[in-house]
């Protein structure tokens, strides 16, 4: 289910954060659905529980999940909170990457196609009016 590259320069917990974020964004993991427990996942991936927890905590800080002491970790509702600053960061990152892509020869049309593709994958736009 998760393919972690133990040799990668990118820390394991960051890889985990990314993978889980992706599952949440693509709604494979739905709102309020329970994530695998720290220990279970640790065992499955043969990784130290602390590493899993670090990933979960990071996801919690970023607003993607919430954890309840004796119960488990769960997916937060989308657009839950205060993503204004996060939005700014993501937009900047996108600008940077888009520039690089175009320098490498990607056309604007290709990019637009990608966007439309994602738009269907996610399931259409999400209403959000706090920006």
d(CA 62, CA 77): 13
Q: Which stretch binds DNA (CB under 7 A): 19-27, 70-78, 92-100, 117-125?
A: 70-78
According to the binding rule CB under 7 A, does residue 56 interact with DNA?
A: yes
Using CB distances below 5 to 8 A depending on partner kind, what does residue 28 bind out of its own copies, DNA, none?
Answer: none
Q: Of the two residues 27 and 72, which places its CB atom closer to DNA in the complex?
A: 72
Sequence-distant (6+) residues with CB within 8 A of 48 are 42
Q: CB–CB of 63/76 below 8 Å?
A: yes
d(CA 83, CA 10): 25
Number of alpha carbons in the 13 Å side-chain half-sphere of residue 2: 24
The size of the interface with DNA (CB under 7 A), counted in residues, is 27
91: Cα separation from own chain's centroid: 15
Residue ranges that bind its own copies, judged by CB under 8 A = 6-7, 9, 11, 18, 21-22, 24-26, 61, 66-69, 74, 76, 78-79, 82-83, 85-87, 89-108, 111-112, 114-116, 118-119, 121-122, 125-131
Using CB distances below 5 to 8 A depending on partner kind, what does residue 53 bind out of DNA, its own copies, none?
Answer: DNA
């Amino acid at each position: 289910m998760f393919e972690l590259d133990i040799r990668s320069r990118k820390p394991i917990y960051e890889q985990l954060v990314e993978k889980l974020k992706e599952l949440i964004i693509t709604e494979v993991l739905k709102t309020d659905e329970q994530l695998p427990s720290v220990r279970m996942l640790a065992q499955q991936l043969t990784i130290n529980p602390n590493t899993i927890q670090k990933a979960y905590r990071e996801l919690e800080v970023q607003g993607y999940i919430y954890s309840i002491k004796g119960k488990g970790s769960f997916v937060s509702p989308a657009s839950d909170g205060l993503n204004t600053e996060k939005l700014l960061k993501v937009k900047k990152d996108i600008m940077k990457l888009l520039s690089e892509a175009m320098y490498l020869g990607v056309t604007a049309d290709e990019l637009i196609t990608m966007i439309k593709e994602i738009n269907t994958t996610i399931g259409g736009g999400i209403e959000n009016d706090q920006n």
